[in-house]
Structure 1
């Protein structure tokens, strides 16, 4: 493929020199069925990395592995120089926030109560929220622009408002890395644009962001794009390097077209 992005090397043996969150030779199987095959990937502080690929290729599994919610069959995930499984769940939760596709909460919780749940990794098993936790929750609600409904119940919010609240919950931990699984699903165009602007602001503050996305035209706004197919990492590079017709057509069909506009790829269906 002309201009094809190069896949990463397995990564340094000593992660202490690399402050990112990175996977090396990562594989995962479920009931003897391979889901992920030897994936090497690094999420750097202050970058937005978009993860693309068709359904069922292991994107969500990769996010869960990098959040420490699953243990790999082979390979490793490191947070800086530490293997993730050697860190306590509290330490992981302070450094890495994960927002799944569907986050269910009791309907009798207010927005503020939901956001404060994000402080759990800092409280320990029996800890109680204090001034620092309230300040972190206030910061998270300000970042996501949900402060005005802090006393409303979650079910009274629109889909876009609820998604911002769940993001605020993740941000309340003040993590270094934010992992989001299809965060723009079920959002209309206006709310998608708001959400992407919010991610850009967090990136500018030094947060590393990894998002699973379906729409390549949202992924082109990221710093780098990783493309997965059948459990493997097929391409990794800038949006212009990865979002090319040969790769996309090999996966989605010949009706996919890519045009370059102002130095950025635009993916279209049809001619």
Structure 2
């Protein structure tokens, strides 16, 4: 891989944001962000509504252009990659991934191979092997011929994760993937994420529940467009910081060295 231009800042390898800022119609959304995601690492992003979490993911995926600073993939500016190459390296699962309701599970997952198809747009053996692998990883192979409207919320979310995985990316960006799932399916979905991390993927998940975020390797806390803290869950899920953000009724307990956040009256 080519070296970054000489005027590029020194940034760590992996997927990194350096002095990242974004404004929309003169309104500052993000400012001065420094964030680094390594392969084989799970990073959970927390923050109140409107803090800029979804915007940050779209910048890291290359779907928005920074106002200041930049996003770097393996030391190179992300804007220097073609959309095809970017899609092979980074998969993004937005909050609302709308797909035609008449598609089968297998057809939805196969859409994840689009960055690899080239101009002809025809799937080959390697593409179908990747689709099969993704369905097995997310345990959706058993209903590959069912259509999306027949699936439960948990099943549908696993199918969308399989679509992202079918690209065989190195980095996976998930925007509130447990939204609208019950507790059982939230834990089940994040267990899948943990297993993928163990296979070498770098994973960034936007979450609302600090107790779910505590399962990640690192946690970053975003508020009003700035990073308040980032580090191991035991460091970031600190009672004083959580009280500052969520109110005085927040308490943090420790269970087997893992922080457990409790709302008290």
Provide the rounded CA distance (Å) in 2 between the counterparts of 1:151 and 1:260. Answer: 45
Counterpart position of 1:161: 155
Counterpart position of 2:213: 219
Provide the rounded CA distance (Å) in 2 between the counterparts of 1:177 and 1:81. Answer: 15
Provide the rounded CA distance (Å) in 1 between the counterparts of 2:243 and 2:189. Answer: 28
Provide the rounded CA distance (Å) in 2 between the counterparts of 1:238 and 1:184. Answer: 21
Provide the rounded CA distance (Å) in 1 between the counterparts of 2:185 and 2:195. Answer: 15
Provide the rounded CA distance (Å) in 2 between the counterparts of 1:254 and 1:81. Answer: 42
TM-superposed CA distance for 1:126, in Å, is 3.1
TM-superposed CA distance for 1:133, in Å, is 0.4
Counterpart position of 2:38: 44
Provide the rounded CA distance (Å) in 2 between the counterparts of 1:246 and 1:255. Answer: 11
CA contact (8 A) 1:24 1:40 kept: yes
Unpaired runs of 5+ residues, structure 1, are: 1-11
TM-superposed CA distance for 1:192, in Å, is 1.0
Provide the rounded CA distance (Å) in 2 between the counterparts of 1:85 and 1:147. Answer: 36
Cα deviation 1:3-58 (Å, max 9, x = unaligned)? xxxxxxxxx9344xx43100000000000000001101000110000000000000
Q: 1:167-182 maps to which residues of 2 (within 5 A)? A: 167-182=161-176
| Other structure's SS at 1:27 match | strand
Aligned match of 2:23 in 24, 29, 34?
Answer: 29
TM-score with structure 1 setting the length: 0.93
TM-superposed CA distance for 1:90, in Å, is 0.3
Unpaired runs of 5+ residues, structure 2, are: 1-7
TM-superposed CA distance for 1:190, in Å, is 1.3
Provide the rounded CA distance (Å) in 1 between the counterparts of 2:67 and 2:239. Answer: 33
**CA RMSD in angstroms, aligned pairs only:** 1.0
Counterpart position of 1:13: 9
Counterpart position of 1:241: 235
Aligned match of 1:86 in 67, 73, 80?
Answer: 80
Q: 1:122-161 maps to which residues of 2 (within 5 A)? A: 122-161=116-155
CA contact (8 A) 1:19 1:45 kept: no
Provide the rounded CA distance (Å) in 1 between the counterparts of 2:20 and 2:94. Answer: 20
Provide the rounded CA distance (Å) in 2 between the counterparts of 1:267 and 1:124. Answer: 48
Provide the rounded CA distance (Å) in 2 between the counterparts of 1:218 and 1:193. Answer: 8
TM-superposed CA distance for 1:177, in Å, is 0.2
CA contact (8 A) 1:49 1:226 kept: yes
Counterpart position of 1:9: none
